[in-house]
Structure formats: structure tokens, C-alpha cells
Structure 1
């Protein structure tokens, strides 16, 4: 099947898209089918209208990302011509003197929604799986099939910004309210309603004329040069730079196209401008990186690339959470939202009740924003049973302890509760640093013991790091992976070495930044330059968030346990500085208002006491400072891959973006090397190692890939 063509007795043609593969997409197969369908439609006699729909669960999935990530500077021109040809067919669609209706039976995203925008009328089935929008910006792209221009004309600059600059996607009811579609109907009424609409508007010229082709049409909210919109555009540009640091070109280009479309050029010129901006964006490194990781890598990870094979999928029917503090209450919320009954236990019933109240607070916010009904809120709350009684946990097929980060405390909790697991149940320890193999040594069934490192705040952070102890069985790992997907987390499976992957890697970039300060660099300059690499926050600010005291305590514990050798410390001056800040100056971090910064209700300022570490004549080039911070995290990730701590490249890339703040434009710490250039990266590492120490020496896995000229995939 391809495009099924059917003309009924009323003169209405229905095009049912059913391309090869699981979804309809704008690929090499699409173009001749699309053009051929329009050729045939235009040749029809007594045509009353056309319905575009799909035989698949999705209406249309958008562009072929495999094709787009293969675009090079040499093939940009070909892509531009292809995009222009597709747009020409879309213009033929909307210029036809009969109504064109998009009967949206499933998700219509990206190119799929652009096809809908070229129709006069858009009707969506009331389907919970249906999402409507233009999410290209989230993959480093921009809507190139007319989406930027048409949506700007349809909604105006202000109205279109959330959908174009943020990639917001809506369900049918919200899409109707926002003006993205015209109607929502029951799925079994979709085609009948589409045809009914066509027959009802026969002879109505306005019904078959697109707004932007209507004489005298004014874009909602006025043109871009108006006194109302000019400051809005300037404000949006400033916000985009604050968010992207100028490192992700797609949102800036989208705003540029919107500005041109809203009054500076005519509709068709704006369309051609959009095509040029789209085509020239595709070969850029940030675009390739984001497509590779945020689409292909994410699909690999969530699809189970690192999940043990040939083990049946499972679901948790009843969950026990031990500890109702910050982590425990977040885990409880996530599980209850997924429909899992949860027993939340703490030392006192009051503490357990406070843990449940956290979920109630979050749910009330959803109700207030119209994202949930009061009845739905009450149903979720009913799934949570707070308790201080040990026996109430009996029969849970997963128990997660989320207690204080001390081995003796965790061992005591394990001894008290492990036997209460349901037959075949397994145990999860929420820890960011303690070795799982050693924790599992106190278990009667270490094969059923696994590390589950959640990230704070759990209700917002999408990553779950699953740690395999030496005796953790493949079945337990598979069940932990399935639980992560059940609660809508993205799971990576890592090996049990000190710091696992995320804690080990995030510490390198924070302590490299502090090492720079300890060497005499200006702390504000270091913090700002680390932000300008594209990291969500400055590294000194992040260290304050993590808490200087906690970082110092964890390091001390790891040394005491024999997990780290102080003689092998890569950044000794930074470690010494943290110890001095905590023990001599009582600088514990942001939670106490005193860290590398001083925190007040008015904001934060660098602690003046850091001036004691400043040294004249030690200033380094900006690029060296930035590369030292970024390369440390990249190199540590490569070492994790080399040592088997990471099971796949995709786990490293996705985990670094979702869990530890890798700059999004890099596509993650491993993908960064691919587009930086393997030879160039090795050379830069050797240069940094010669100037700043052996911690920048390229690992063997990097040398091997560079010598073979093989990308990390």
C-alpha cells in the first residue's frame, strides 16, 4: 500500500496514506506519492472536496530523520530543491477551489501537521494517543514544510511562539482551544464528519480560501514591526540567547523566519526563506548531534538496547518505599501517577503522612492548572498508604529503600524488611555513590538486589540509573528496567564502579572548575565560562547546589572505604579547597546560604573570601578554561565506556543530557567527540595534558577509534 485513492458517489476523494514501514513520513517514497495524488485530484471532473487521512495509528510522523542527519554541505542544495518541490504541491493543495480536510486519526507532528496546515479544515479524532504540534526545535531542526510561516499567519507572532520556539505538543481538546484545529470528534465519526463538512460548504468561497490567501487578511496581533510586537521579538531573542547561549541555532532561525513572515515579506517569499533556513541548518553539528541522541539514541535506550534480552516484560503490582524524605516522596509520586499502589513507610506515621502530602501538593497544582480533575487527583492519592508499621510492606514485589546514604543504615533497613518481599520480588537501593555489590553483600538474595539511582527532584528528572552489582541477575535488571518504563523514566544500566556513571562524571567537571579557582582563576569568570559551554548552570553554582559538605563527606567516605586513593586524586587542590571551605569557614552550600556564593533573598554573590585563592598573572585563555571543564566530563564518559561501566554509547549520551547537564547541542558527551572530530579531539587532549596534567590524556578507546576513523555509535 502507499496512498489509497477513493472517490465516492458525492464526488469526494479520500486519500488514505499507508506508506511502507510503521509510520507515514516525508522520505524518498513520499514525494512521488504526494505529487501523484495531487496530479490525479486536479484532473478530476465534478470534484466536491478531498479528505486526507491515514491507515496507520499515527496520521503522519514528519520528516525522515535518517535522511536529514545524512545531509552534508554538498547536498544542502538538493535538499532545498526537494523541500521547495514539496511546498509547491502544498500550495497546489490550498489553491484548489474545493475544500481540503485533514481527518487526523492519530499523532500529527512536524511534517504531518504541516500537511494539515495546508488543508482548509482540520478535524481530529478524540484519541488519547493523538498529539498535534511542530516539535522540530527539540531536535535542533525547524519546521521546513511551511509550518513556521503558516502557523505565524494563523496564530500571530505571540500565539505561535510556544509551538515553534518550544515545540509544544497538544492533545486534540487543547489543540482545538489553541486554534490548531477546527473540530474534535469521536474516532468512528471522523471520516463521516470530514465528508459532511465538505458537503456543507459547497459554494462557500471563504471556506476554500486559506486565511493568508484572503484579500486584506491581517496576522493576529499585528505585524512584526508594530509597537506591540517589536519589543516582544527583542525579548524573545534575549530569552533564547539566555537559554541556548547561542549554541543551538534552530530557535533563533525560527524567530527570524517568524519575524520576516509577519509583515516584512509576502507569504510565498517567506516560504522560500523558510526553505533556505531549514536546508542550511541540517548539516550543522548541533543539528546532527541532537537528532542522533534525542531521537535515535533516546529510542534505543527506551526501547531496551541495554535491557537483558529474552526475558519477558513485567510490571510492578505493589511497591514499597522505605523513607519518606525528599527522594522517597518523589518516587512515591512517580509510581502513584503510573497507577501503582504504594506503601510509604517511615519511622513515624507523621513523617509518612508528610511524604504523602508531597504528592497531594503536586496534584493540587495540576488540578489548579486544569491538567487533572479533582476525581483523578483523589484516585492517585488513594493509591498511597502511609505507614510506620513494618508488616504493612509485606507482599510488595519491589521494595525501594530511600534512606540516609550510610551503609550501616541501609543494611539495617534491608535486614528488617527483605523477607517481606513477595515471592520472586526484588530489592532496590536508591543511592548515588555507595557500591551496590557491597550493599548486596548483606542480602540473603544478592541476585535480586539492584541499585536504583533516582535524580532530584524525582517528579521532574526523567533519568533512572540502574546499577548492576556483581551478583545482580539479568532477570532483576530486566525487571528494574521495566519498572523504570512503567513510571515513565528513561533507564540506563551501568556497572558498579565508584560513582557509577553519573555521579562519577558530574564530579569531574565541578571539581575541574574548582581546581581552576584553587589555581588562582577568577571564580565568576570560571562559573560564567562553564555556562557558556552550554551547561544548564555554572559549575561553581552547581557545586553549591549539590552541597560542598555533601561532596566533601562522600569523598571522605569513599577514601575510608578504600574506593578512592587520595594519592591518585586528579584535582588535589580542589579537594583541599573544599575541605577547607567546609571545616574552617563553615561554607556548606546553598542550603545553608553559604557556599562558594553567599545567598540572600535578593540573590547570590560570590563569597568575598574566595579572593584568598586569587593569584595575579595566572589568567588562562577562555577556551582553555571551557575545554578543561567540558573535556574532563567527556573523557570520564569515555573511560566509563572503556571500562564497561556504560553498556552502550546511547546510554552515555542520553544519560549525560538527562542526568548530569551535558550541553544539549553536543548530543551528549560521547556524541560531542564525533562532531568535534576524533583526530582533532585527541590532539586537543594531548595539548591539555601537556599543559595541565595527565587527567587529560586520551584513553585507549579514543586512540583506537581515532586510528580507525570510526565514530562512536
Structure 2
């Protein structure tokens, strides 16, 4: 049996060291909880122990529960309640053992790790930027399940606690001290000594909330209004931000409201009940599966050919210094890669280099980077117009205008000066990779790397395999994506690949709803209520309506079997007749008054009359989400998508499909395949064949299968 704890006694002080033998990080597990209970039961009954220091043998103090364990362990609400209560009782034992306990935090203490620190009498943290503390559970659709909501509110007050709990952020040592999350910040080498020094003062081990007459520390916000009034306002703000899609934030607020009105032990019961409800809800499992477990697996090379030796890029050439090329240049230089940033004129190339310079200036201003670090990064980017400067690069990333002829021209010029070892990647969002590879003499070394804008903020890279792309090229491309700390999904070649193809269904469905006479406000609000970050009409204004028009018209020319979507009449009317292509063209579905907020163009109803009978908002939400899920299922059936997990990751990270669903395919699983198929058949009868489920989805539903769940 593995042992998670090591203890050493020096006089009356026992130093307890956390050390998970099976992992690089200490995490909460049933076996660890059992060992902790046994240890503190012994401490409680040992009169010779005068104090305990809890520290870690790892670089981090402790993380929370293993999310993969939570995902892989089927739990009913009763199971989850028992799981929470077991850890809760352990923490309660620590703070009532009759001995002062110090958390000596030398590295990160997050989630259950910080809850352990909260259960200790005192917290000393190392003055190290990596020694962050926090309760990030809201980010995975959960809440702290072993005392975090209750102890934090009693330590720093409800208003501050709500900011920490609902923000889900990590706090650096000095900020944590300022807020009251820790008691002392010391140099890393002095943390244990400081813990010993505090214990030498013979501190009272009884926590304030276990003393008679305890009252909550209140902040200014609560003093200005009644507690009930503050919670009412806070609840309204959460509803406005999350709608009804994310139960965790409201549950956290409810825990605070209900829990602080009763003694701690009853508050802990309230917390466990809400934790159990969230664990049993599919939302938390959807979020955990996609944004943590499957995302983590993708970043560790889940789709990488195993028999190809690892590689690193030392020098990269980037063709095109526009917004995309400049962002890629910054991402590469940030991790120490030498960059050759090439464009047709030095003015354009230098303008591209100015983009990372602007990002770095902000970082220096905020104290996130030193000027020397910023200067060193910029020095790694060489702006040029000379293709000869590309000699010796390991990788070329082409990021020029979406035109086959232009891409072919720069590809040939770059290949003429690079060695036979260089990998060539095209950053294209729609053009078939196999077609673009025709301009390259080594198609086996040609691949697609579809970045998302802005590259410095967007984590996803869609890696596209051409018909002749080799496994070695795929491995090298994935190594580069990992090197620049991005998240890859791997797809096969197809027009629009996966992300652009499915994204198109979202914006076209928005235009189709408008064409049918649905109120523009209902379309936009329905999309946002479904969890999309922006309505389809507003999004079209940002990307311009000419983009889907170009894609449709080009596809019509090159694919005789392509069926033009009826929504195109909306785009063509807006652009060709009304000269309203979008925001950059002065206006589109919205107007943009100078000095004011954008608003829907009042004349829309003149050209797209609103029908007397409007659909229910739930119908609008369903159409917007389901059309994207259906197209994803088609991509999987056609082998464009290689794995369902990549469909979910790509949809959430690529264009903001609602995280609560877990992604497009997890949405189908959550609804249930038979129910989803039946609803799609109904939608197909009412609105057209685009809603008809692919045969593979029907077969999977009939066999009782799923995509990712189970």
C-alpha cells in the first residue's frame, strides 16, 4: 500500500510531509484522506505533541482532487455527498485536534490543497510567484467540497470570499496576504523556520468560529445594505452573466448565503449537499472531460505517432506579417525560437514585428515582464523581405491571404531557399491542404496548421493532414504546437476542415432564422442564452458578411455537388444591395454610432420582415446548438475528425461553443442519442434536410452507444 505521508518529530513539534509516491503532484484521494485521519487522530491523543507543521516534498504544496478520478468514478449524489463529507470530517479533525497546525506552503496550494491550508490554524507561504493559492473549482463546474466556502467566508468576509470563489483565480503570495488568504509571506528558505517560530509563541489552536460570540467579518459592501439585499443583487449579477447553463456559481453563492447563517458544522453539511448535486449534474463532468482531461491528453500528444523521435524547432520562418503571422511569431519567440518574419515590403514586415512589441510593452507596464526580457524576445524576431533569410529554418509557416495562387507562389519561393529537412505548414482556415501541397515538391512534409486569432490569446491549433502528409510530419507539427504551448486537434483534409466547416453552420443558421422572419433580437439573445459568447449576427458583423459569401461561391465553383444554403440570400442582400458588409464597412446587422454602443440596425425589419408568430426562445437555442452538433457528427462519419474528443476540444476552444455542454459531441451525449435523433428529425421536417442526422448517428443511437460518455 502506498503511503502519502512522512512525519518527523523534533521535541513537541511534528513535521508532516505530503508526498504522493505515484504522481508528481499531491492530490486529494480516498487513501490520502484515510492516512490524514489516522495521523491526526494520533496527534489529538498525544499529549507530547505541541504543534504540527504540514508541508510538502513536491515543488507544489497540494492540488485538489484528481479530476480524472472524479470523471472515471461513477457517483450518485449520495456517493458524492459521502466523498465530500469524508474529506470535510478530516479537515474538521485537523482544526479541532487541540494542537496548533501550520501550513508551510512552498508551492501552489489550489482547490483541495488550499482547503487543507484553510483547515490549518495558520498559513505561511513562500515568496515565490509559483506559490499561488486559490479555489478554482468554479472553473470545472464544481465548488470546494471540504470546507472552502465556509471557512473562507468566516476568515475574510462574505463579499471577499465570493470574489475568490466565483472568480476561480490563483493568487500570488503578496496578493493572497493582502486579501487575507494567508497569514505570512516569507522567503522560500525560511518558510519552515517561520512556521516553527509561530508555534513557539504557544498560539491558541481554537479557531475564531469555534469560540462563543463569533461574528462574520463584514466588508463595506455588506455594511451598506442588508445581507439578504447583497445576496439578491449578487444572484442577479450571476444570472445575467451565466444564465441557467452553469449551476456552480449559483450553488457557491447559495452555500455562502445559507452556510454563514448557521454554525460551521451545519454550514459544512450545506456545502456537501451542493457539492453532491453538482457532481451528479452532467455540466461539471462535461467541463472536466473536455477542458481538463481531454485537453490535457491532447497537449501531451494523444494523437502523436508514437514511433517518431521527438523534435524541436530552433528557427522558424513565417510568410506573411499580418495579424496572424505576427501572432505566430510572438508565440514562437516567446519560447526561445528564432523567427524570420517575411512580407512583401519592409514596412509590412516591421508592422508585423510591432505587434509583439505592443504586447510586450503592456506586459512590462503591468510588471508581468522585465524590459530586458521583452528586448530579448523582440531580438529573436527578424523582419525581412528577403527569402534568402529563410535558409536553415526547421519549419515554414505560411500565413498569407486565403488565395490558392498567392499561397502557391510564396510556397515555391520559400522552398527554393530552405533545406530538404524543413517542414512546411500552411495556416489556412478553408483551403484544402492536399491542393495547397501541389506547390511543394515534398507533399509528405506538407501539413496544415490552422491558428486562431488573436494567436497570443487563442490556445487551439487545428493540425490538418493532407492526403500525402507523413506520420513523421504530423509528429513534428505536434511537437512544434507543444513547444509553443498550444492545444492541438488533428483532422483530415476537407474543405473547411473541421472548425471552419462547423463554425459556418452557426452563422448561416443565424441568417436563416432572420430570413424566416425571426426577430433579430430573439436570434441574438437566444444564442447568448444558449451559451454562445456572441450572437451570430454580431459575429458576422465582426468577420464581415463577405467571408461566408466568398467561401460559398468558391465552393460552388469547385464542388458541383455543393448545395447553396438558403441563408445566402441574406448575406447577398446585405452586401450587394444594401452595402452593409459588417463593422469594418461602416455597419451590417448592427449600426455603430460614434461614441455610443452598437445596436441592431433599425431598418433590418424593412428588408427582413418580422413574422407575426415567433418561435419560443428554447427553439432558437436548440436550432443554434443542434446544427453545429449535427455537422460535427458528419465530420466524424466522414473521417474528417479522427476522434470525438477533438471535436469537443475544437468546438469549445476554437469558436466558443458553450463549455457547459462539453462540446458539440458531448452535447449529443448529454441530451441522449435517441432523444437527439428524434429532435433532429422533427427539426428536419420543419426547417430542412440540414438537420437530418447522419446515418452513423442513427446507428449509434440504435445500438445504445455514445460518443464520449461512459
TM range (shorter): over 0.9
Tell me, in whole angstroms, the C-alpha distance in 2 between the residues paired with 1:70 and 1:442.
47
Taking the TM superposition and a 5 Å limit, the aligned residue runs for 1:389-538 are 389-538=386-535
Distance in 2 separating the partners of 1:540 and 1:234: 33
Structure-1 residue corresponding to 2:640: 645
SS in 2 for 1:385: strand
1:38-68 per-residue CA deviation (whole Å, 9 max, x = no partner) reads 1111121311211222334443221243454
**Matching of residues 239-638 of structure 1 within 5 Å:** 239-261=237-259, 264-560=261-557, 562-563=558-559, 565-566=561-562, 568-569=563-564, 571-572=565-566, 574-601=567-594, 602-611=596-605, 612-614=607-609, 616-617=611-612, 619-638=614-633
Deviation sequence 1:59-110 (CA, Å, 0-9, x none): 322124345446778x323432342343223122123333212223433221
Question: TM-score by structure 1 length?
Answer: 0.93
- Alignment length, in residue pairs? 703
Q: Any conservation in 1 of the 2:44–2:99 contact (CA below 8 Å)?
A: no
Which deviates more, 232-241 or 649-658?
232-241
Q: Which stretch of structure 1 is more off in the superposition, 216-225 or 291-300?
A: 216-225
Q: Determine helix, strand or coil for the equivalent of 2:344.
A: coil
Consecutive unaligned residues in structure 1, runs of 5 or more = none
Aligned residue number for residue 123 of structure 1: 124
Confirm or deny that 1:201 pairs with 2:168.
no
C-alpha distance in 2, partners of 1:153/1:563?
A: 65
Q: Is the 8 A contact 2:77 2:280 kept in 1?
A: yes
Once residues 690 and 57 of structure 1 are traced to their aligned partners in structure 2, the CA distance between those partners, rounded to angstroms, is: 59
SS in 2 for 1:282: helix
The alpha-carbon deviation at position 179 of structure 1 amounts to 3.5
Distance 1:642 1:20, change over 3 A: farther
SS in 2 for 1:420: coil
1: distance between equivalents of 2:236 and 2:313? 46
Distance 2:560 2:210 in 1: 69
Provide the rounded CA distance (Å) in 2 between the counterparts of 1:486 and 1:335.
8
Between 3-12 and 291-300, report the one with greater CA deviation: 3-12
Deviation at 1:248, TM superposition (A): 0.2
Shift of 1:512: 1.2
Alpha-carbon offset, residue 283 of structure 1: 0.7
On the 8 A contact 1:501/1:640 being kept in 2, the answer is: yes
- Taking the aligned partners of 2:195 and 2:600, their CA distance within structure 1 comes to 62
Q: CA deviation at 1:184?
A: 4.5
Match of 1:210 in 2: 207
State the Cα distance separating 1:620 from its structure 2 match: 2.7
* Alpha-carbon distance change, 177 to 40 in structure 1, aligned in 2, over 3 angstroms: same
State the alpha-carbon separation in 2 of the partners of residues 556 and 404 from structure 1.
17
Cα root mean square deviation, aligned: 2.4
Alignment match of 1:44 (pick from 24, 43, 46): 46
* Secondary structure at 2:296 match in 1: helix
What displacement does 1:697 show? 1.4
Paired residues for 1:30-69 under 5 Å? 30-69=32-71
1:529 aligned counterpart, secondary structure: helix
**What SS does structure 1 have at the residue aligned with 2:157?**
helix
Change (3 A) 1:473 1:685: same
Structure-1 separation of matches of 2:257 and 2:217? 12
| CA separation of 1:557 and 1:493: change in aligned 2, threshold 3 A | same
Report the counterpart of residue 14 of structure 1 in structure 2.
15
Q: Is 649-658 or 292-301 further displaced after alignment? A: 292-301
Task: Give, in angstroms, the shift of residue 172 of structure 1.
Answer: 4.2
The 1:578/1:36 distance shift into structure 2, 3 A limit, reads same
Q: Secondary structure at the match of 2:415?
A: helix
Whole-angstrom CA distance in 1 between matches of 2:611 and 2:666: 37
Q: Is the 8 A contact 2:516 2:611 kept in 1?
A: no
Shift of 1:5: 4.3
Q: Distance in 2 between matches of 1:606 and 1:536?
A: 17
